[in-house]
Structure 1
Amino acid sequence: MNTLWLQRRSLLLATAAAAATLALAGCATQSPGLAEAPPIVFVHGNGDTAALWQTTVWRFESNGWPRERLHAIDLPYPLARDEDAKPQPGRTSAAEHMAYLQAEVNQVLKTTGARQVVLVGNSRGGNAIRNYIYNGGGEKTVSHAILGGTPNHGVWAIPGFREGNEFSGTGPFLKALNAPKNAAGDEVSGPVKWMTIRSDNNDKFAQPDGLWIGQKGTTTNVTAAGPELKGATNVVIPRIDHRETSYSPAAFEATYRFITGKAPQATTIAAEKQVVLNGKVTGLGVDPADAKTGNFSNNLPLAGAQLEVYATDAATGARSGPPLLRKTVGADGVWGPLSIPPGTPTEFVISAPGYATTHIYRSGFPRSSNLIHLRAERMADADKAAESIVTLTRPRGYLDPARDKMLLDGAAPAGVPAGAGVATAKVKPSGGQRTIAAEFIGERVVGQTWPASQGRLVMLEISQ
């Protein structure tokens, strides 16, 4: 087993690198050696969306990777079943997940004319990648497999405890994947080249105690090394959290180096002169048009939703003028395209029956992307009496008070537990409509509060 330690000089250097994620470093040019770069297919994690790969795709583009060879899948129902063998509305089995990935890979190969792809997965996405390579013909179509934070030996490995779940280390799914592939007992085999990326001890799903799975005080029989695979190149990056095993600058650097054999020119994101944004609007539940079918995440289009997009003032979050775009979303959920100057702070407003009017503020976009997916939210009953509801959200990582410098409405976010265990923090500000800001390691997102009595929610989304 080959284990690499990517040491950070200090936490300050690590946070500085993260802050530089959105640096406007000038337009990148395509490297001649990457003209025929292998297509990369990105596979998101449990309950997540292709949008989480937005900054990773930008980093590859900034290092010359052709945009048309970077593809992020969007599993329609991204949550795993409670018990893999039993159908569950709005959830996918491991086999269904693998079949979806297989179809996406086949389409990418057809579109690009390539013989093989690189697969890069976060968390549950790595389960689908392993399943596809060993059980779906992927050993012929995949050159490299890179798994970030994948619970390869389970989130728990407790005999008799939820062993039918995809994330059980003692269950049939992972036991089959981890069966020795050769006399040395390796858990991976060629011709695919394998790499795992894990945290040293800060991944909530690779912990010896069951705190983050609702089993505090229970020994999980899983350690921080759980994501490693015998026979793979196993990279350890200090202090990164579960999502940062894929979406951080350090994870990008390791991924790029593994694919190409050399370091990237930069892990920062180069700005384009003209930015074109697109994505889709999604909702919640088995049927996003029917609130009775649940409030869990899906990646299904929210047909009929109304979307408005505004440029905003960087200091106040107030709208700078009339909407840049106003559109009724069609059956495919696509809301764009929209041309916008790079770095423009932006407000997205989603209105749809059965949902709160959702105001999403972003600090700006240095590059074009078709992964600007937007999810309408519903208001919790406990929040309906509040004057305003504002949530700081970090989709590509977690919030760690011991590690991260962050503020919400001028104060450290209340209720965020120690360790990298949650990705959101909520406040209920008063004082009428006003400016409100979130800061996270150098990135500042500024918005406006809106009245909850009008059925409005505010999301301040961190890009890094």
Structure 2
Amino acid sequence: MILNRRTFFLASVLILVTLPTFGQNTAPKAEANYPIVFVHGNGDDAAKWVGILWLFESNGYPKDRLYAIRFSNPAARTDDTKPEANRSSTVDAAAELSSIVTRVLLETHSSKVILVGSSRGGLTIRNYIQHGGGRNNVAAAILAGTPNHGVLVSTANPNGEFNGGGHYLQDLNQAGEDGNEVVAGVRFLTLRSDKLDKYAQPTGIASGAPQTSTGISFDGPALRGGTNLVLPNLDHRELAFAPAAFREMFRFVTGAEPKTLTVQPEPTVQISGVVTGFAGIAPTNLPLQGIHLKIFAVGKDGVGDAAPLYAVTTSADGQWGPFNASSTQEYCFDLEMEGRHVRYYKAPLPRSTALLNLRFAPVPRDTATRPAGAELLLISRPQGYFSRERDPVTVNGNPLSEEPQGLPVRDSFLTAVNGTKAVYVTLRGETIIAQPSNDLSKELPIIDFLW
């Protein structure tokens, strides 16, 4: 279990639609400075919250009251009752959250915390509040894109964590004496999409089975007794990590409108984090030892033959940094182990953070379908999903036919580019310069968008 604090993001304001709700969107003044603990989702990491943390900071929320959890094994079990290597049960996750909340309360001398969860993180929050004593420690809970009523309702695998007909969710959703699905004494806010959440679809379109009914509706994340808001045109991850989602979080926590929906740069930026990896196909947040990390400045022609600005070999804790960065400089984070390189190309980071997780990623599974010798890039968007019609990605100004289209369900894709020189990749006005590779088994270049 790793607990980190602080700081990411840029903005575009999306129109919000409010559904009829049972709750109030006004925060008691006493909550305005409660510590906030951000809880990531299935297979995710604390780094997902960097942008939201930066937005809270940019609006004056105290840095030392902002926390983000990094679960050791973030992926859920297939069957919650059966041990599965490098995966966590619902009890594992809630116990880890309970431990972290206790630590935050002790550290801050606060009487309560506010919990914000993305996807599976919201279910863990509910489990902790209902069964882990959390109702005494939590003032408010914000559940963003949480599949509160499941991803599907099925009689198969009744021990599946995301089965709306399974034991776990049936228990969490059992109505109280007041008929509500939320715990009395804790303010609840749910954020859901209108129709773009891949895990709140009436059919199996997100899994390639559009003719199959899931038993779930678009309003599956809503909870009786909570404040339930719709954020149109946002996908599953954007419900937690987009500026429009931040706006509703801030309003719910403080009772006031945020002054800005853009990250305010710091004059001095210091970054650090951890190197982690995968166990089979399951991502873990366990530290990797023996990774050689070098950080390079990226110019208009890429990295070239420039000397690294920072270099370290990770020890058992996987930690790296601090690195003093420029808020206007793009960097390449080069991970090397046994001759294989994974290179993350990131746009300039406007504020400090200790949360960056550089995963030593495996070779993409669809590499074999590419022509031999093709120059390739892996384009990644950790805080959202791709949809060509909604958010076209361009390379050197040209749209990409490989970008997924339709319902946004994928956060990365491979693309082939012409030549071996540096290329300019753009999404939503953010441009990253990178150098492609013709052998991803040796060199994997990853375009790592911030938002």
TM-score, structure 1 as length reference: 0.87
Q: Structure 1's 453 and 169: CA in aligned 2 closer, same or farther, altered over 3 A? A: closer
The Cα of 1:442 is off from its aligned counterpart by 0.7
Q: Partner of 1:168 in structure 2? A: 163
Aligned-pair distance for 1:364?
0.7
Match of 1:317 in 2: 302
8 Å CA contact 1:39, 1:108 repeated in 2: yes
Q: Look up the SS of the partner of 1:335 in the other structure.
A: strand
Larger proportion of strand: 2
Provide the secondary structure at the position in 1 that maps to 2:356: coil
Farther-moved stretch of structure 1 (143-152 vs 400-409) = 400-409
1:129-187 CA deviation, whole Å, 9 max, x = no partner? 000000001001111100000000000013x133221000010100000001123x110
> 1:341 — aligned with what?
326
**What SS class does the counterpart of residue 136 from structure 2 fall into?**
helix
Cα distance change of structure 1 residues 265 and 15 upon mapping to structure 2, 3 Å threshold: closer
The change in CA–CA distance for 1:422 and 1:454 in structure 2 (over 3 A counts) is closer
| 1:178 maps to which of 167, 173, 176 | 173
**Quick one: which amino acid aligns to residue 423 of structure 1?**
D
Q: Which residue of 1 aligns with 2:233?
A: 239
Written as runs of structure 1 = structure 2, the 5 A alignment for 1:15-414 is: 16-17=12-13, 37-158=33-154, 160-183=155-178, 185-285=179-279, 294-313=280-299, 315-319=300-304, 321-353=306-338, 356-380=340-364, 383=367, 385-408=372-395, 410-414=398-402
Judging changes above 3 Å, is the alpha-carbon distance between structure 1 residues 383 and 189 closer, same or farther for their aligned structure 2 residues?
A: closer
One-letter amino acid of the structure 2 residue matched with residue 308 of structure 1: K
Structure 1: any 5+ residue segments left out of the alignment? 1-13, 19-32, 286-293
Contact 2:386 2:403 in 1 (8 A): no
Asked if 1 retains the 8 angstrom alpha-carbon contact of 2:272 and 2:353, the reply is yes
Q: Residue 368 of structure 1: CA displacement?
A: 0.3
One-letter code aligned to 1:348? F
Query: Percent identical across equivalent pairs?
Result: 37
Q: Is the 8 A contact 1:310 1:319 kept in 2?
A: no
Residue 123 of structure 2 aligns to a residue whose secondary structure is helix
CA distance in 2, matches of 1:258, 1:126: 16
Greater shift in the superposed pair: 170-179 or 320-329: 320-329
The residue number in structure 2 matching 1:3 is none
> What SS does the corresponding residue of 2:431 show, helix, strand or coil?
strand
Corresponding residue for residue 420 of structure 1: 408
Distance 1:80 1:147 in 2: 18
Q: What is the match of residue 5 of structure 2?
A: none
Q: 1:276 touches 1:338 (CA, 8 Å); kept in 2?
A: yes
- 2: distance between equivalents of 1:320 and 1:279? 25
Offset, 1:297: 0.8
TM-score by length of 2: 0.90
The amino acid that maps onto 2:220 is G
SS at match of 1:336: strand
| Residue identity opposite 1:75 in structure 2 | F
Aligned 8 A contact 1:359 1:456 in 2:
yes
Aligned equivalents of 2:141 and 2:169: distance in 1?
A: 17
1:374-404 alpha-carbon deviations (Å, 9 max, x no partner): 1112224763744433111000001122211
Aligned partner of 1:7 in structure 2 is: none
The alpha carbon displacement at 1:62 in A equals 0.3
Matched letter for residue 417 of structure 1 = Q
Structure 2: distance between partners of 1:238 and 1:208: 17
How far apart in 1 are the matches of 2:196 and 2:204? Answer: 14
Aligned to 1:8: none
Aligned partner letter, 2:188? W
Q: Give runs of ≥4 in structure 1 deviating > 6 Å.
A: 33-36
- Map Cα deviations across residues 238-285 of structure 1 (whole Å, 9 max, x no partner): 010000111000000000000111111111100000000011011110
Q: Does the Cα contact within 8 Å between 1:435 and 1:447 map onto a contact in 2?
A: yes
CA distance in 2 between counterparts of 1:251 and 1:268 reads 13
Residues 15-58 of structure 1 show CA distances to partners (whole Å, capped at 9, x for unaligned) of 8448xxxxxxxxxxxxxx99982111001111111110010000
Q: Distance in 2 between matches of 1:116 and 1:342?
A: 35
Q: Return the letter of the residue paired with 1:244.
A: E
